[in-house]
Amino acid sequence: MNADDRPEDENPHLDRPLRSFGRIKARPIKPRQAALMETLLPAIAVPDPNAGPLDPKTMMPEATEVWLEIGFGGGEHMAAQAATRPDALVIGCEPFVNGVASALRHVEEGDLKNVRIHADDARDVVDALPDASVDRVLILFPDPWHKARHNKRRLLQDETAQAFARILKPGGALRFVTDWLDYAEWALERLNRTEGLERMGPADQDWFVPPADHVVTRYEEKKLGDTTPVFLEFVRR
């Protein structure tokens, strides 16, 4: 295999970060969802973040808050949160095509007008958002990348943690959830040392207790990890 035949994130000639997610498509998409990919997705897609800065106000001028969910899976959590807060712009990022298709069905069935979707790498959106422009960042069950040599692919790195702190408004909150204990410890270490972020609640708080507004998803019910879900909550000072 020559350099130009390597996967995108293994090609040294491409100046891109390592991919933090696994597969981007699995089984064939159902006809109804495939139709939504052609009709609904273009209507609610986030503007191309590589074309310039993103202004959330252009996506939903009347929004009172801006939420960013990274890796929304099948979209159940994102749709449920958007339904409870129709006044908030909910930006969802997910590169897994089947997940995007599923989320579109939830958006249509819920007649949700406040959801915008980026069907690709969330880091592009984060980089394009202005400083102090987001009220909440939600990261639920990101790919754990178990092997030590693959840890560098984890979404939560020092650089991304600082980027989340940059886009959060003062008082804005970040929620990180994982069902892999090693990743929870990894995330806690990096978030604790990120300038501008402070852990919410007492130091001895039980990190297995879900927040009041947590929405259990089908993925969570599968219990694929090695621990009960861990919830980390940080606030932007």
pLDDT (tens digit, 9 = 90+) per residue, 9-59? 443 333 456 665 555 555 789 999 999 999 999 999 999 999 999 999 999
| Residue 227 burial by Cβ neighbours in a 10 Å radius (0-12, 13-18, 19+) | middle
Res 13: pLDDT: 33
With a CB cutoff of 8 Å and minimum separation 6, the contacts of 147 are none
CATH number of 3-236: 3.40.50.150
* Mean pLDDT of the region 117-142: 97
pLDDT (tens digit, 9 = 90+) per residue, 65-92? 999 999 999 999 999 999 999 999 999 9
Is 217 annotated in a binding site? The answer is yes
Q: Which of 5, 111, 124, 143 is catalytic?
A: 143
Which tokens belong to 64?
């009172």
Is 120 annotated in a binding site? The answer is no
pLDDT (tens digit, 9 = 90+) per residue, 199-230? 998 777 899 999 999 999 988 999 999 999 99
Is position 143 annotated as part of the catalytic site?
yes
Is 62 annotated in a binding site? The answer is no
Is 94 annotated in a binding site? The answer is yes
Residue ranges covered by each domain of the chain: 3-236
What pTM, to 2 d.p., does this model score? Answer: 0.88
